[in-house]
Structure formats: structure tokens, C-alpha cells
Amino acid sequence: GAVVSQHPSRVICKSGTSVKIECRSLDFQATTMFWYRQFPKKSLMLMATSNEGSKATYEQGVEKDKFLINHASLTLSTLTVTSAHPEDSSFYICSAKIPPADTQYFGPGTRLTVL
């Protein structure tokens, strides 16, 4: 149980375009999902907390207009990187919690490369 999927696993896009990444909880309902960013050989950095039916809460320094998060249902959260630039290239990982516990289950990640 507690499986989280992400789609796509890899995406390459041109600078200036927007990219949408989907995060799904497959066998449970997740009122809260999280989006992380990870640079090579570095730790996970929390970008935002996504709550079903309400606005996402962004961490300090994360541009909410650039990284749009939508949590439209109890099993789906999306991250849209708008007007992507090469510096947005990274590994993006989502996680989901099974309420009321604190345990977070992670997706497999999405490798974004912006040319």
C-alpha cells in the first residue's frame, strides 16, 4: 500500500515553455501532498505544501507564480513550472501523507531538463 506515482518520469523542454508534472496517490486519499526539489548529490528541499481544495503554502524563496500547484482532488496534485529556464532543471519529487499520520510516501520523481 501507500503508492505514489508521478508523471512524466522525464521531460525535456525548451526555455520559455511550461511543464506540468502530476502526482497521484494510487491506493489512498491524500489531503496533503508535498513538492520537493533535489539538485544532484544534494538533499531534498521542500518547495510547497499542497492541500486539497485550498491554496498551496509555499516555502520562503519559492516563487508561487513560477511554480503553480493545484490539488484538485484527494488523489491528484499537479506542479506546473511556468516559463521554464535552464536553472529550473532539477529532479522534482512529490510526497503524500495518509492522514492523520506524519508519514510521507514519495513518488519516483520527475527529471526536468530545460534547454
Partner 1 sequence: GENVEQHPSTLSVQEGDSAVIKCTYSDSASNYFPWYKQELGKGPQLIIDIRSNVGEKKDQRIAVTLNKTAKHFSLHITETQPEDSAVYFCAASSWGKLQFGAGTQVVVTP
If one asks whether residue 111 binds partner 1 (CB under 8 A), the answer comes out as: yes
Radius of gyration over every alpha carbon of the chain, rounded to an integer in angstroms? 13
Q: Give the residue, chosen from 93, 96, 112, 114, that forms a contact with partner 1 under the rule CB under 8 A.
A: 93
Q: Give the residue, chosen from 46, 55, 73, 113, that forms a contact with partner 1 under the rule CB under 8 A.
A: 46
CA distance 51 to 29: 12
Contact assessment for residue 45 and residue 28, using Cβ atoms and an 8 Å cutoff: no
If one asks whether residue 13 binds partner 1 (CB under 8 A), the answer comes out as: no
Q: Give the residue, chosen from 31, 70, 82, 104, that forms a contact with partner 1 under the rule CB under 8 A.
A: 104
